Amino acid sequence: QVQLVESGGGVVQPGGSLRLSCEASGFKFSSYDMHWVRQAPGKGLEWVTFIRFDGNDKWYTDPVKGRFTVSRDNSENTLYLQMNSLSPEDTAVYYCARDHTIDYMDAWGKGTTVTVSS
């Protein structure tokens, strides 16, 4: 069955960097566009970034532009999120999600927690 497993979360100081991974299985990863979505403590879900199936096109929400970079390795069935210049406002559970032709996200992982704190 379709499975998405995030990893790489942890505690990092403000200004630091972290790279998240999302390992996909149970489907042809290279055929699907993918998202990262986050949820800050006590807050709602927030769309973060979207990457096309071939990795050639990427879009970001304004608060992370210039700091976060999404990428993928289709040979390893893995999605990545490189996060730089982290601030406490980036503290959240980060989910990866599979896109279904832009109209919805049809599969999600359980998330990985990122805490930015000194």
Partner 1 sequence: QSALTQPRSVSGSPGQSVTISCTGTSTDVGGYNYVSWYQVHPGKAPKLMIYDVTKRPSGVPDRFSGSKSGNTASLTISGLQPEDEADFYCCSYAGKYTWVFGGGTQLTVL
Please work out the total of residues on this chain that contact partner 1, with binding judged by CB under 8 A. 26
Query: Residue 35, interface with partner 1 (CB under 8 A)?
Result: yes
Min CB(44)–partner 1 separation in Å: 4
Binders of partner 1 among residues 77 to 96 (CB under 8 A) are: 95
- Which of left, alpha, beta for 30 (phi over 0: left; psi -120 to 50: alpha)? alpha
Q: Least separation, in Å, of the C-beta of 100 and partner 1?
A: 7
User: Which residues are CB-neighbours of 76 under 8 A, at least 6 positions away?
Assistant: none
Q: Which two tokens stand for residue 85?
A: 């210049």
> SS3 breakdown of the chain: % helix, strand, coil, rounded to 5?
10, 55, 40
Both tokens assigned to 63: 């608060």
Given candidates 59, 73, 89, 117, which one binds partner 1 under the rule CB under 8 A? 59
Q: Which of 30, 61, 84, 115 binds partner 1 (CB under 8 A)?
A: 61
Closest CA to 9 of 110, 111, 117: 111
- Paired with 14 in beta bridges are none
Binds partner 1 by CB under 8 A, chosen from 31, 56, 103, 118: 103
Q: Which of 43, 76, 85, 87 binds partner 1 (CB under 8 A)?
A: 43
Sites of contact with partner 1 (CB under 8 A): 4, 35, 37, 43-47, 50, 57, 59, 61-62, 95, 97, 100, 102-111
